[in-house]
Chain A
C-alpha cells in the first residue's frame, strides 16, 4: 500500500446525513427501565447525544450504568423505554440500528490466540462488511490506533495498552455514528492512555463520531467530555456541561468532621456549628445520627469561609485536622450529589 493510498484511506469522511429528521440527536433514549427480579436496576433513564459530541456517563459501581449501556448498545432488552440511533428504533429495527453503534467493552473483548488482523477480519465479518471494504477499513482502523506495523502478531503478545487500542479498532470498522467506550483506559500506562485520548478526539474531530464515555478517572472525563450524565440508584441525577454542573458548587466544598471529643467542646454541638457557617453557602450535616457527624458546606467564598472556620476552632480549642477542602471538580460534584465518592463501590 502506498502512502498516498493510506492517506486516502485515513482521510476524514464526510458525516453521513442524519436520518433523524426531527432532532439533531444521534442517540436518544427515553424512560429506560430494567428490573432483575424485584430489584429495579435502571429506573426511567433518559439521555441524548448530539452528533460529534462526547458525553461522559458517570456512576459508581451498582449505579445502573453498565445496565444502561448494555441496553443502549442492544446487548440487553429494556423492560420499558425507547432507544433510537440516528432516528432508527433499536427495538423495531435492531439490525439497522446496531450497524450505527460501535462498542468498546471494558474487557479486552478480543480473541487473544488470534492476531490483531484476524480479530479485525472477524469483527468486520460480524458487521457484514463486504470483502473489498473489509481490507480498507481494517487498514484504516489499524492506522487510527497506531498498530499497522504489528497487526500480524497475536493479541496475547501485546501490552495492555496495545490490546486496548485493538479493542477500540474493532469497534470502528463499520464507521459507527456513535461509539460507546466503557472504561477504555483501565490498566494502561500513561503513554497508551494519551494515545487513546488522541484516538477519541480524532474520531470526534475528523470523523464526527459521537462518543458515550464511561470512566472512573475524573481527570480524563474532564479533559475529554463535552457534556456529562451522572447516574445513581438507576436514575439520572444530573446532566449538563461541566460548567453548568459545577456552578452550584461555588468555589468548592468544605468538609469539617470534628472528633467526638471536639464536638463535646461545642456548646451547641454540630447544629450550632452549622448555624455559624450558614452564611457561607449551602450547609448540610452528613451522618447526623452518628457519634461523629460531619459538616459539608458548599462555599461561595473559600477564603472568607476558612477565616471563620479557623476562628471558631480557635475559640473552642478544636484542631483543624478534621477539615477537608475540595475544589469544585467532578469528584466533589459526585460526592455532593450522591454522598459518596465515585470509586467507593456499591
Chain B
C-alpha cells in the first residue's frame, strides 16, 4: 500500500491545479476576507464605550454633579473639556458633526438655579443623525433620569445642610452629617453583578483570524472531495485501475492506497493553514494546540469518505466537478465557514451544529478561542468519525474500480 500512497502523492504534487485549489486558494481567501471583515470583528463580544461630550454652561455644583456622575460611568467615554478649558456648545456640536461622539449633552446656564428652585431642569441633546437610535435613545433616557436623580439629591443635600446649619444640638448635627455622608456614598456606589441563565456562560468571540483561518481550512479540506473523486475518475478512464486489478495487490489495499494519501493531504492542509494564521497574522492557537489534531484527523476522514461516496455515485469527471463543488460549498455555508455563526440567524446556527463542517469549526474554535483541551474536543471528533464511518459504509459497496 505504501507504493500506492507514494505514487498518489507524487501525482498530486505534479498537479498544479489541485495544489492551487487545496493550498493557494484558501490562503488567498483567508487573507482577503480577514482584511475585509477585520472591523466587523473588532468589537465583537464587547459592547464598546459610547462616546459623548458635555458642554457645561452652568458651571454650578448641580451641573458639576451631573458631569461627575457621567464621567464616572464605565459604559461612557465622556469629553467635557478641550485643551484644559470646558467644552463649549459649539465645540460639542462640532464633535457630534464630525462623528467623534454619538451625541452631546448641553447643560445650559441656569441649570443649577432650576434645580435649587425645584423646577424641571432644562437639558439639550445634540444627536448624530447616523447614530443607532437603538443605542442612543436608552442612553439619553438614562441620562435624563440621572439628571433628575442628581437634581433631587442636590435639593435634599441643600435641605439637610440648611437644617444642620440651623441646629445647635451637636447630636442632631452629627446625625444630619451622617445622613449627608450616606447620601453622598449612595450616589457614588451601585452594587451590580452580572449572571447568565443556568447552564450558559459568557461567550468569548473569535478574532477575525480565529474565524477565517479555521473556517476556510474546514471548507477547503472538503475540496479534497472533488480532487480525490476526480483522480479516481481519471484512473478509471486511463485504465490504470484495470491494470492494477490484474496485479497481485488486493482490492482493499488498492482502495486504501487511493484514500489514505488524500487524508494525509487534508491533514497537511490544516497544518499549513493554521501555521499561516499563526505566523503571518499572529493568530492565537489557544492553550492546547495539540487538541487541534484529533479534530483535523476526524475532519480528514470525513472529507475522504465523502470523496469516495462521490466517486461511487458519479460516472464522469464533469459530474464530479459539478456535484462535488456544489456539495462542498453548500455544506461550508451551512456549517458557518463563510459567515461567522454570530452573524447567522438562530435556525442557521442550529443547522450548523449538525453539519460536519459546523461541528469541526466549532471544535477548532473551542481550542483556538476558548482555550479548551483534548478532552473537550474528543466528543466532536467522535461525531465526525461516526459521520465518516457512515459515509464509508454508503460508498464502499457502491464503489467500482472499473465501469
A contacts, CB < 8 Å to B: 70, 73-76, 94-96, 98-99, 101, 103, 105-111, 113-114, 118, 122-123, 125-128, 170-171, 180
- Minimum C-beta distance from A181 to chain B (A): 12
Please determine whether B239 and A109 come into contact, CB atoms closer than 8 angstroms. yes
Bound-complex Cα distance A101 to B249 (A): 13
Specify which chain B residues have a CB less than 8 angstroms from the CB of A74 in the assembled complex. 245-246
Check: B124 CB closer than 8 A to any chain A CB: no
Specify which chain A residues have a CB less than 8 angstroms from the CB of B242 in the assembled complex. 70, 75, 103, 105, 107, 109
Closest to A180 in B: B246
Which of B10-18, B148-156, B205-213, B357-365 makes up part of the contact surface? B10-18
If A109-B238, A126-B249, A127-B248 touch, whether A103 touches B243 (CB-CB below 8 Å) is: yes
If A70-B402, A76-B402, A118-B10 touch, whether A110 touches B238 (CB-CB below 8 Å) is: yes
Please determine whether A109 and B11 come into contact, CB atoms closer than 8 angstroms. no
**Cβ proximity bits B1-35 to A, threshold 8 Å, 1 near / 0 not:** 01110110011001100000000000000000000
Bound-complex Cα distance A94 to B243 (A): 14
Bound-complex Cα distance A295 to B282 (A): 88
Specify which chain B residues have a CB less than 8 angstroms from the CB of A114 in the assembled complex. 7, 10-11, 14
- Minimum C-beta distance from B238 to chain A (A): 5
Please determine whether B246 and A110 come into contact, CB atoms closer than 8 angstroms. no
Bound-complex Cα distance A344 to B245 (A): 30
**Cβ proximity bits B221-241 to A, threshold 8 Å, 1 near / 0 not:** 000000000000000011110
Specify which chain A residues have a CB less than 8 angstroms from the CB of B15 in the assembled complex. 113
Check: B244 CB closer than 8 A to any chain A CB: yes
Interface size on B, residues (CB 8 A): 24
Q: Which of B243-282 contact A (CB under 8 A)?
A: 243-250
- Minimum C-beta distance from A140 to chain B (A): 18
Bound-complex Cα distance A284 to B265 (A): 66
Please determine whether B7 and A108 come into contact, CB atoms closer than 8 angstroms. no
Specify which chain A residues have a CB less than 8 angstroms from the CB of B3 in the assembled complex. 122, 125-126
Specify which chain A residues have a CB less than 8 angstroms from the CB of B11 in the assembled complex. 111, 113-114
Tally A-B pairs: CB < 8 A. Answer: 76
Bound-complex Cα distance A110 to B250 (A): 19
Please determine whether B248 and A99 come into contact, CB atoms closer than 8 angstroms. yes
Bound-complex Cα distance A315 to B368 (A): 101
If A105-B239, A105-B242, A110-B240 touch, whether A122 touches B7 (CB-CB below 8 Å) is: yes
Please determine whether A105 and B248 come into contact, CB atoms closer than 8 angstroms. no
Please determine whether A103 and B246 come into contact, CB atoms closer than 8 angstroms. yes
Specify which chain A residues have a CB less than 8 angstroms from the CB of B246 in the assembled complex. 73-75, 98, 101, 103, 180
Specify which chain A residues have a CB less than 8 angstroms from the CB of B4 in the assembled complex. 126
Specify which chain B residues have a CB less than 8 angstroms from the CB of A110 in the assembled complex. 238, 240
Specify which chain A residues have a CB less than 8 angstroms from the CB of B401 in the assembled complex. 75
15 pairs across A/B with beta carbons < 8 Å? A70-B242, A70-B402, A74-B245, A75-B242, A75-B245, A75-B402, A95-B248, A95-B250, A96-B248, A103-B246, A108-B239, A109-B239, A110-B238, A125-B2, A125-B3
- Minimum C-beta distance from A245 to chain B (A): 29
Specify which chain B residues have a CB less than 8 angstroms from the CB of A118 in the assembled complex. 7, 10
Bound-complex Cα distance A9 to B244 (A): 26
Please determine whether B240 and A111 come into contact, CB atoms closer than 8 angstroms. yes
Bound-complex Cα distance A286 to B266 (A): 63
Please determine whether A111 and B245 come into contact, CB atoms closer than 8 angstroms. no
Closest to A95 in B: B248
Specify which chain B residues have a CB less than 8 angstroms from the CB of A75 in the assembled complex. 242, 245-246, 401-402
Bound-complex Cα distance A108 to B234 (A): 12
Closest to A125 in B: B3
Specify which chain B residues have a CB less than 8 angstroms from the CB of A107 in the assembled complex. 237-239, 242
Bound-complex Cα distance A125 to B2 (A): 9
Bound-complex Cα distance A42 to B247 (A): 23
Specify which chain B residues have a CB less than 8 angstroms from the CB of A73 in the assembled complex. 245-246
Residue among B245, B248, B401, B402 having the largest count of chain A Cβ atoms under 10 Å: B248
- Minimum C-beta distance from A29 to chain B (A): 15
Specify which chain A residues have a CB less than 8 angstroms from the CB of B239 in the assembled complex. 105-109
